[in-house]
Structure 1
């Protein structure tokens, strides 16, 4: 059965508030939680960006469901340091942690001063980081000289079983590259007709039988007008699409671009509806693709109202 999970958005809520929302999400019936890993928000209006790995320890201690996050090794985080963090969480909370590795965005990674590369180079860098982390999490001592450098690195506090290292992909091309080596796939939701080809490419590339997680972004509120207003206020910059999202460095620049996104464009990245039945149908359609977990991210700031609605209408929707 497909699990329905809750996405904890660090960009939109203070860390303490987000921890409390994770507790509430579990109480509402969500079977898993994942979080973002940003150092800056997409928009100045979102207004937050807590440290994901610090938060994960506190949130997992306060709950009992599985957790995951998506992070980009090789820039802001050295892969050996990220492997150490993942090993620590899995050792403390056995069987409850996974991490998806992505190629990153300039918004979060370029501030270290490194040259921000094009997508093919970021893909190659991601594979090197995965190989280093995979070996470290299995107790190996690693020396590697390439796009990233590791000299005699070893993790001394290991879990009994390594946490899964998923790959993150938004397109069939990237998903196919990940299929042969990632432990699972994390991809974006939306129109099931667009999600299916990404999952199929992952499976064709070597990922058959591996778990698939989806992050599905919605804007639900008590009225359609409020749902649309929330989507445009909080998530318009992310709806720009294309490669531009990965190359812009400042939240204020995302806000400038967001001015060109209206009701006709926001649907590219957010499913906007006040009707729980429509969201329920979307979840079922994605569950029918054979995925393991769908993490629902409601972009409105009133998470209490969303969690109340989800407890009644969504968490038992997919099978």
Structure 2
């Protein structure tokens, strides 16, 4: 089933404002949402980064939306703790939570004081972490002495329904590798050709489940305002791997982005003041092969975007989402 969802960006809005936004998203017709899970924002201008797991409990209680979160277990988070967090939320809100796992960014993971491993090491650590989480969610006791260490862990509160463990991937190589352990895939804005390669790599490697997209958009009352606000908020988020993986602070991202132009940002954010253009763009992403599209309004004005969604986006895709 095709689904249109709303993305809640913890790096840009404080937790109270973000809770207001997801409640409004439900009122205008969204049935699904997802959120980021970072320790730091990508820039000082964004300026927020609340703890996603505390917030998810409030958001699940305050709405009837299904929620997902993107998480990087293994360094900042021990996988047994993430398994416990998932199990608790899933027990309280059955069949309303999923988690996507990635190998992380130095920006967030360095806070432990441990070294930032190579991508191959991070992938190995991630696969072991997901194995630990899956085993714990199934009610089994886990011990492991590998990239992560676990000593006789067992969850005593378990979910009633299975929880989907999704892979977060930007490159075809990571997508193909993740196909062996993931229940689905999520990626982010790139060129159509790059997105098609990611989808094909995952499917060709035997990957099952839904293929999802977190899609950055900028909507405002004028095109110039949409461009300006997309550039102000997202110019630090245009860098391809490994730069986006390896920079270690908001200030480092800002230094790298000092010459990024508004035109370059539009390679990572779909910018338009025309509601029908947003409808067409979402339709194009669905035609590209995505089962679920989660829309991230990059400008801080969430109300304007959600009101537009109520009158244009939600009605346009209501039939295929039913």
TM-score grouping bracket, smaller chain normalisation: over 0.9
> Per the alignment, in what secondary structure is the counterpart of residue 314 of structure 1?
helix
Normalising by structure 2, what TM-score? 0.96
Q: Which residue number in structure 2 is paired with residue 150 of structure 1?
A: 150
**How far off is 1:146 after superposition?**
0.4
C-alpha separation between the residues in 1 aligned to 2:163 and 2:289?
Answer: 22
SS in 2 for 1:6: strand
So what's the TM-score if we normalise by structure 1?
0.97
2:61 is matched with which residue? 61
Shift of 1:190: 4.4
Which blocks of at least 5 consecutive residues in structure 2 are unaligned? none
**Are 2:160 and 1:160 equivalent residues in the alignment?**
yes
Count of matched residue positions in the alignment of Structure 1 and Structure 2: 318
3-state SS of paired residue (1:135): helix
How big is the shift at 1:107? 0.7
Corresponding residue for 2:295?
A: 296
Aligned to 2:97: 97
Whole-angstrom distance in 2 between the partners of 1:268 and 1:177: 26
The question of whether the paired residues in 2 share the 8 Å contact of 1:231 and 1:272 is answered with yes
State which drifts further: 139-148 or 192-201.
192-201
Question: What stretches of structure 1 move > 6 A for 4+ residues in a row?
Answer: none
Structure-2 separation of matches of 1:270 and 1:154: 42
In 2, distance between residues paired with 1:172 and 1:207?
Answer: 12
Instruction: Using the TM superposition, name which of 280-289 and 86-95 deviates more.
Output: 280-289
Unaligned runs of 5+ in 1: none
**Aligned-CA RMSD value:** 1.2
Question: Equivalent residue for 1:308?
Answer: 307
CA contact (8 A) 1:135 1:142 kept: yes
Contact kept in structure 2, 1:283 and 1:317, CA below 8 Å: no
1:235 correspondence with 2:234: yes
Structure 1 position 126 matched with structure 2 position 143:
no
Pair 1:177-2:177 in alignment = yes
1:274 aligns with: 273
Instruction: Note if contact 1:190-1:217 (Cα within 8 Å) is conserved in structure 2.
Output: no
Matches within 5 A, 1:251-262: 251-262=250-261
- Give distance in 2, aligned partners of 1:268 and 1:110: 29
User: Quick check: 249-258 or 164-173, which moved more?
Assistant: 249-258
**For residue 215 of structure 2, what is the aligned residue in structure 1?**
216
Q: CA deviation at 1:265?
A: 1.2
- State the shift of 1:231 in Å: 0.9
